[in-house]
């Protein structure tokens, strides 16, 4: 039989990295909007805008044509940010063959609808198996070959097992999980907490306070995640605690950097204008607070982050607010 054909849509840092991983194991094509990006990937095996100085797998091919990208696609990987996820799928719908599994890489929630990315896949591409690849995966580290692990989450274990080898390597271990809701919520929710950790970093609050933010952050992620139908255990796994830790700790995390910028007194508009990448936690923070309201879940850290994002108060006041976490805590659960 012919080799599997993987198509990745979106050539940001993580889409490009996942495409480079898949190119080791399958015939892989990445779609980028910009012709200059496509040329650079095809000719120089690099993507300098997002992964400066790093080499991509030599077999990875790129195209600006969505038709070409989807023509022979067996597995579709969505590497576009959450705010353009639905619009991209609408373009994909008439071009992709039926039943092709779709894997989301985006760690955000849709504004307005509060949908997870796999819910958007079901709405725009009915009948296609939908899942995600997520975990503690700072793109540069993965592309450099530093050991890491991720989870492919699909409702159907057989499909998850079939997809697992596509992304695996000797230094990139891929686990499977059938808890799609829990696996999918870890990423968006940790991004919001990571903004808070970044603010703490910028303000020099100290390691005890940062550990409090991360640990209590996991508690609120888990509370909301379980209310939305995820399994509690999933949130202590790679897509939950794992991704929360790497994003809060790594100076390369965009969401942590956003928090540090807030601590330096910058506004949301200034921060967004200064970045060439998307920090999903900015937009996700208000969606998370809507969900917290609907489901009656207390999310004190996310609430402070959402207030800072909206410009209602600054990072210093947010951390003053978080002191109430320590002052008011009677029971840890
Ligand atoms: P950032 O979007 O904050 O860079 O997070 C990276 C990430 O999700 C690592 O797993």
Catalytic, 190? Answer: yes
Q: Ligand 1 mean position to 137 CA, how many Å? A: 7
Report the pLDDT value the prediction gives residue 322, as an integer from 0 to 100. 80
Q: Which residues pair with 125 in a beta bridge?
A: none
Q: Cα 30 to the chain's mean position, in Å? A: 18
Tokens of 48: 């300098």
Helical (H) or strand (E) element with 125: none
At residue 280, the pLDDT reads 94
Nearest to 42 by CA among 64, 70, 9: 64
Q: 3-state SS of 232-290?
A: HHHHHCHHHHHHHHHHHHCCCCHHHHHHHHHHCCCCHHHHHHHCCCCCHHHHHHHHHHH
pLDDT at 333: 62
Give yes or no for residue 82 CB within 6 A of ligand 1.
Answer: no
**pLDDT mean across residues, the chain:** 96
For residue 187, which phi and psi values (nearest 5 degrees)? -60, -55
Contact 254 CB / ligand 1 (< 6 Å):
yes
Q: Beta partners for 172?
A: 148, 169
pLDDT at residue 330 in the model:
62
pTM for the whole structure: 0.96
Percent of the chain with pLDDT over 90: 93
Question: What is the β-pairing status of strands 130-134 and 148-153?
Answer: antiparallel
- Count Cβ atoms below 10 Å from residue 145 Cβ, excluding itself: 12
| Interface pTM, i.e. ipTM | 0.98
Whether the CB-CB separation of 127 and 303 falls below 8 Å is answered with no
Residue tagged active-site, from 59, 90, 190, 310: 190
Residue 329 has what pLDDT? 59
Q: What is the per-residue pLDDT for 323? A: 76
In the prediction, which pLDDT does 320 show? 87
In the chain, which residues have pLDDT < 70? 326, 328-331, 333
Ligand 1 centroid from CA 234, angstroms: 18
Q: Is 224 within 8 Å of 297 (Cβ atoms)?
A: yes
Q: Could you report the per-residue pLDDT of 298-320, keeping only the tens digit for each?
A: 999 999 999 999 999 999 999 88
Rounded distance between C-alpha atoms, residue 248 and residue 209, angstroms: 13
- Contact call for residues 63 and 69 (beta carbons, < 8 A): yes
Contact 143, 48 (CB under 8 A): no
Helix orientation angle between 207-227 and 315-328, rounded to the nearest 10 degrees? 80
Which residue, 287, 313, 314, is CA-closest to 302? 287
- 214 neighbors 222 (Cβ within 8 angstroms): no
Closest CA to 95 of 79, 119, 73, 123: 73
In ligand 1, the atom with minimum distance to the C-alpha of 255 is 3
**CB of residue 255 inside a 6 A radius of ligand 1:** yes
CB of 88 shorter than 6 A to ligand 1: no
């Amino acid at each position: 039989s012919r080799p599997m054909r993987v198509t990745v849509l979106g050539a940001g840092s993580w889409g490009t990295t996942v495409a480079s991983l898949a190119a080791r194991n399958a015939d892989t094509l990445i779609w980028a909007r910009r012709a200059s990006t496509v040329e650079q990937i095809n000719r120089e095996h690099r993507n300098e805008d997002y992964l400066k100085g790093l080499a991509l797998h030599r077999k990875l091919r790129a195209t600006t044509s969505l038709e070409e990208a989807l023509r022979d696609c067996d597995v579709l990987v969505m590497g576009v940010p959450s705010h353009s996820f639905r619009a991209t799928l609408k373009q994909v719908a008439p071009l992709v063959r039926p039943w092709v599994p779709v894997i989301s890489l985006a760690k955000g929630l849709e504004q307005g609808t509060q949908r997870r990315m796999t819910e958007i896949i079901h709405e725009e591409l009915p009948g296609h198996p939908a899942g995600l690849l997520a975990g503690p995966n700072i793109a540069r580290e993965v592309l450099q070959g530093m050991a890491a692990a991720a989870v492919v989450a699909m409702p159907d274990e057989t499909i998850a097992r079939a997809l697992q080898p596509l992304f695996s390597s000797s230094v990139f271990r891929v686990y499977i999980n059938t808890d799609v809701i829990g696996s999918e919520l870890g990423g968006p929710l940790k991004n919001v907490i990571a903004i808070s950790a970044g603010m703490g970093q910028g303000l020099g609050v100290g390691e005890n306070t940062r550990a409090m933010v991360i640990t209590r952050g996991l508690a609120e992620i888990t509370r909301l995640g379980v209310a939305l139908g995820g399994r509690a255990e999933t949130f202590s796994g790679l897509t939950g605690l794992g991704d929360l830790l790497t994003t809060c700790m790594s100076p390369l995390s965009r969401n942590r950097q956003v928090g540090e910028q807030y601590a330096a007194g910058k506004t949301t508009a200034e921060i967004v204008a200064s970045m060439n990448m998307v920090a999903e936690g900015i937009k996700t923070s208000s969606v998370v607070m809507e969900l917290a309201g609907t489901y009656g879940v207390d999310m004190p850290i996310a609430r402070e982050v959402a207030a800072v994002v909206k410009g209602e108060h600054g990072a210093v006041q947010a951390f003053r607010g978080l002191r109430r976490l320590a002052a008011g805590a009677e029971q840890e659960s």
